[in-house]
Structure 1
Amino acid sequence: MNRFSSHYRHYQALLCFTVGLVALAGCSSSDSRYELADDVAPSSPISVDHIEGVQPKYEPYSLGGNKNYTLRGKSYKVIKDPAGFKERGQASWYGKKFHGHLTSNGEVYDMYSMSAAHKTLPLPSYVKVTNLNNGKETIVRVNDRGPFHEGRIIDLSYAAAKKLDVIKTGTANVEIEVIIVERSTSQHKAEKHPEYTIQVAASPHKDRIETLSKELGQKLAVDTFLTPINSNYRLMLGPFKDYKQTQDVLEQVKKIGYSSAFVKKM
């Protein structure tokens, strides 16, 4: 059962606050961050009869863990619109080794929660999991990345795996189906979503920065504006409501040659 390395998990948490570097590896590495070399079930297994599947609700996607990534030479593209997503394959599970450590979106993994990991679903997502071997089903909240063994499509928390009777066999044939909960009108009015801008460059020469502003606006198909600060003019792109889109545009800006460009939260 492969997982993200601790460095990548730590990066995902910090991504909510700053810009870091990504490093990926499998859980088979001898990472001293974990007290256990191999994953195991709890020393004293508990009954999960009282634990119910999670109740799906609307949640905005997290800032961390939703960026496309590459692991062991293979690229993974995070699904932007998971509505109607279904998948069949094998489920595995992860437990005590990762208990208390960070998930890919910066939360803390609790093996007694009804959670799971998936390679490409946006975080968090709600998924109905059906064990095709015995017909048992439950709902989990996906907040992590993995598994990366061939044929495995979802890594279940210990509690979810116990609920579906996967612990004894280690793996099971499952079908997963994404559950979409739309944001209600009242939520839309009550929530104040952050907006982001990208600062590309600053210059005291207004005519030059205006020319650059027009060029980048046309090339990247984004809105641009200037912000006068003392005797300089800052070239800004945006605003953007979606953090993922902001990061995508930032990557394009840096590829063009503006390596010092950065994201600002409004």
Structure 2
Amino acid sequence: MSEAFCLELYKDKVVVSYYAEKFHGRKTANGERFNMYDMTCAHKTLPFNTIIRVTNYANGKSVDVRVNDRGPFVAGREVDLSKGAAVKLGMIKSGTAKVKIHIVKMGANTKQSAVSAAKAQKIPLTRSKGATSKAKAATQVVLKKGQLYDIQLGSFSDENNAREYARKIARAKFKNVAIQKSGSNTKVSVIKVDGKDVPSLVKQLEMKGFGNAFVRERKNR
């Protein structure tokens, strides 16, 4: 069976870059240690452990990589590859490459897409601190008018990356953008959104490139 029937085309004619020695050994956004020789990559929104196939238009070379980090935070770039993956794509000298990206396998923590959830008036809720084991199971609820929610858009091990992502969201004219510490990670969220406004706001965020939103209910104050 040909690739066209096996894999879902995710993005076409987008630019990828790579990162290497400067970040080797540092923690990635999912808590792993970055190994520049592993076949991994950073993406702003795809669920962790998603496997994507990246194909270089310049030479036809392809590589399968696993999402374990967030980025890149440079305008116009879709993915940051490990140096090992960049070598396989033959893009070390150029530093960037124009590629097509197919989804090989979505990460195990994949939720319903933000747009689909918004249309259905249902949004996946993240787990709240101190929740019971039963409540920690992935779930969806109908949003309630008058109830406030936080829309989480990213979680970062590097606080500077979180702050830069928050500034990017704010520059896109979204209000109530906040960073929230959670253990060793820093979350970026749009906070205090009324339940009746969540679906439309999630869709607006998705249209601006801030996808993979997760919503958690907050205590009204």
TM-score between both structures, scaled by the size of structure 2: 0.50
- Bigger fraction of residues in strand: 2
TM-score between both structures, scaled by the size of structure 1: 0.42
Q: Which has the higher contact order (CA 8 A, sep 6+)?
A: 2
